[in-house]
Amino acid sequence: MGLLFEIFQDMLFAAIAAIGFASISNTPFHVIKYCALLGAVGHGLRFVLMNCAGWHIIVSATLAALVIGSLSVLYAPKAKCPPETFSFPSLLPMIPGMYAYRTVQGLVMCLSSQDESVFNHYFYLMSYNGITCFIIVAGMVVGVTLPIFIFKRISFSATREILKGSYND
């Protein structure tokens, strides 16, 4: 029961974060529920893949972003908004903040070290965390945009219907 609670808690906090990111990016009010749902599903999937399946964060985040992108394409006609409207705010809770923080921390420690071995240690930490952060973000970008390009007809049909309706008024 403890693992299910942890998964639910992870999904809940990801949904709250997705709502926050959606609200600051001027997302239409009726789309915010999709942002919360996709953020919860994506972050929950990443959590399960990392903690239950033992997968690395790079693969887990990429697959979770692929699921977010696929679901956003499916929900786009229903929400009558482009899939990017709710896929990107849903993706933002998965940004690897600790890896970015540790990269900057390693850089600061490199600049402040006097000993070569200490410098090499912090340079290694900076490089590892920076490369990991970059690959995670790149994988998330590819994962979320790939379904939008593959299912172009579905993803762009939502905005075409809106434009047709505005010209008929």
pLDDT at 169 > cutoff 50: no
pLDDT at 132: 97
- Its pTM stands at 0.86
pLDDT at 158 > cutoff 80: no
What are the residue boundaries of the structural domains of the chain, listed by start? 2-96+139-168
Which among 58, 41, 31, 149 is positioned nearest to 93, based on CA atoms? 41
DSSP 89-145: HHHGGGS-HHHHHHHHHHHHHHHH--SHHHHHHHHHHHHHHHHHHHHHHHHHHHHHH
Answer positive or negative: Cα dihedral of 156, 161, 167, 169: negative
Q: What is the mean pLDDT of the chain?
A: 90
Residue pLDDT, tens place only, 38-48: 999 999 999 99
**Is the CB of residue 129 less than 8 Å from the CB of residue 103?**
yes
pLDDT at 168: 47
Residue pLDDT, tens place only, 98-150: 999 999 999 999 999 999 999 999 999 999 999 999 999 999 999 999 998 88
